Amino acid sequence: MPTHTTTPDGAADLVVVGAGIVGLAHAVDGLARGLKVHVIERDERAVGASIRNFGHICATAQSGQALAYAFAAREHWLTLAAKAGFGLRETGTVVVARTEAEMAVLEEFAGVRGAEQARLLDADATRELFPPATADVLGGAHLPLDVRVDPREALPAIAAWLESEGVRFSWATHVGAIDPTAGGIDVRTSRGTIRSARVVHAAGHDIDRLFPQVAEEAAVRRCRLQMLEVAPPGGVEIGPAVLTGLSMLRYGGFAETTAAADVRTQLEATAPELLDVVMNLMLTQRPGTNGRPGSIVLGDTHHYDRTHLPFDDEHVAELVLREGARLLGAPLTVRRRWRGVYADSPRTDFLDNEPFPGLRVVSVTSGIGMTTALGLAPTVLDQLF
């Protein structure tokens, strides 16, 4: 990604504040509409939730509006990978079932979605796709339409491609105010003022910095995640993303099944500490280098607050490692640790607010920005223009 800055003078048809995946999604759609687009990012490159995630486009497990956005976004990901030149793997997702209750969720889910979206697996077929599967695995489901990217590669590649197509970027540029004027909207930045006909503010979990009332109305808070990168035990290579029974409580497609209640009841009885930290035990594997398998991204836990203290509890990381070792059937060696963060709202999965005409404040407030943003953006711009 280019790290230079530009002097933001002149006008634009669309200004996008934020170069994470939600902001870039709006820039992609604005470019497709033939608009003059200007993206403003406070950092020299995207460093927030959009590169701290699993790179998992988990389309199939969504429900409702999120499902529609996710499948629309999937098609955009396929197109963008070819245009921007980043890797994309169509290996799907394996959902591992280790109890009868978890298997019942998958059977119910597959019955609703059909074989195109969910293929039930016995224990042996699960191990073919997830070689480390331990003896307690009863079976699973393969969700073949899900895709994977490396967010550290994909986000810079999309930004670079947009710039090559004429989208203007102002990096390391802080936006201090967005004001309506007689001639449009003035975006006041640390490097000058940009006037635009329309503005999308896509600053992720920092909505409250410029628009505290919008954040308060939607009860937006910051979700802090504990995530790890571990060495692949035994040099294992895992093609699909991997979800578990804990994932069945987080994704709407699973959580809405009648059988999901039994999964929660079992966890309340056997592992309440995992529910206390709102764990979603899942993993993806990074692309390998020099013929060696890539690291495994393992997580995650969820902690909610408007303002988090700067301290991480090692006990939480130990829980992730304990459950990861149980899932992978081997002790794990940590290579990296980091804190993820995203905007969360108990009132909506997709915040789309209009503080005044021509300005939309947009955030995916459910932790599925990579999965849905490219599907959400066209809807926002349809309404904005």
pLDDT in tens, 332-368: 999 999 999 999 999 999 999 999 999 999 999 999 9
The secondary structure element, H or E, covering residue 140 is strand 139-143
Per the CB < 8 A criterion, the answer to whether 92 and 142 are in contact is yes
| Same domain, residue pair 27 and 169 | yes
**296 membership: H or E segment, kind and range:** strand 296-305
Specify the number of domains making up the chain: 2
Residues 126 and 113 placed together within one structural domain of the fold: yes
For the cut 80, the answer to whether the pLDDT of residue 113 exceeds it is: yes
Range 61-80 average pLDDT: 98
**How would you classify the pairing of strands 139-143 and 184-189?**
unpaired
Q: Residue 338 in 3-state DSSP?
A: strand
**Burial group, residue 290, by CB count within 10 angstroms (0-12, 13-18, 19+):** exposed
- For residues 54 and 297, the answer to whether their CB atoms sit within 8 Å is yes
- Angle at which helices 21-32 and 151-164 pack, to 10 degrees? 30
What does the pLDDT read at residue 175? Answer: 97
Domain-embedded: residue 69: no
The residue with greater pLDDT, 206 or 291, is 206
Question: Which pLDDT value is given to residue 183?
Answer: 83
Residue 258 lies inside a defined structural domain of this protein: yes
**Are 253 and 287 part of one and the same domain?**
yes
What gap in Å lies between CA 56 and CA 60, rounded to an integer?
A: 11
7 contacts: CB under 8 Å, gap ≥ 6: 191, 192
Answer yes or no: are the C-beta atoms of 146 and 57 closer than 8 Å: yes
**8 pLDDT tier (thresholds 50, 70, 90):** very low
- Does 242 share its domain with 208? no
Same domain for 272 and 292?
A: yes
76-85 burial string, b = 16+ CB within 10 Å, else e?
A: bbeebbeebe
**CATH code, 207:** 3.50.50.60
CA-based torsion, 288, 138, 371, 323: positive or negative: negative
How far is 39 from 16, CA to CA, in rounded Å? 5
Q: What is the pLDDT of residue 38?
A: 98
- The arithmetic mean of pLDDT across residues 356-385, rounded, is 97
205, 351 Cβ separation under 8 angstroms: no
Whose structure tokens read 């079932």?
Answer: 97
State the amino acid at position 327 in one-letter form: L
| Inter-residue contact 280 to 363 (CB < 8 Å) | no
| Mean residue pLDDT across the chain | 95
Q: Whole-angstrom Cα distance, residue 200 to residue 187? A: 11
**Distance between CA atoms of residues 209 and 144, nearest Å:** 40
Q: 208-256 pLDDT, tens per residue?
A: 999 999 999 999 999 999 999 999 999 999 999 999 999 999 999 999 9
Euclidean distance between CA atoms 247 and 231, whole angstroms? 22
Domain span at residue 315 reads: 93-144+221-344
Strand partners, 363: 351
Contact 235, 295 (CB under 8 A): no
* 63 domain residue, yes or no: no
Same domain, 206 and 256: no
Same domain, 328 and 252: yes
* Ramachandran bin of 38, using left for φ above 0, alpha for ψ from -120 to 50, beta for the remaining angles: beta
Q: Is the pLDDT of residue 10 over 60?
A: no
Residues 111 and 242 in one domain: yes
pLDDT tens per residue across span 124-135 = 999 999 999 999
How is residue 109 written in tokens? Answer: 């889910």
CB atoms within 10 A of CB 193: 14
Strands 350-353 and 359-364: antiparallel
Verdict on whether the full-model pTM lies above 0.75:
yes
Bridge partners, residue 242, by sequence: 94, 283
Token code pair at residue 175: 């936006």
- When pLDDT is cut at 50, 70 and 90, the band that residue 103 belongs to is very high
Shared-domain flag, residues 231 and 200: no
297 and 228 within one domain: yes
pLDDT tens readout for residues 12-59: 999 999 999 999 999 999 999 999 999 999 999 989 888 899 999 999
pLDDT at 92 over 90: yes
Residue 88 lies in a domain: no
- CATH number assigned to the domain comprising residue 269: 3.30.9.10
Q: Identify whether the C-beta of residue 90 lies closer than 8 Å to the C-beta of residue 107.
A: no
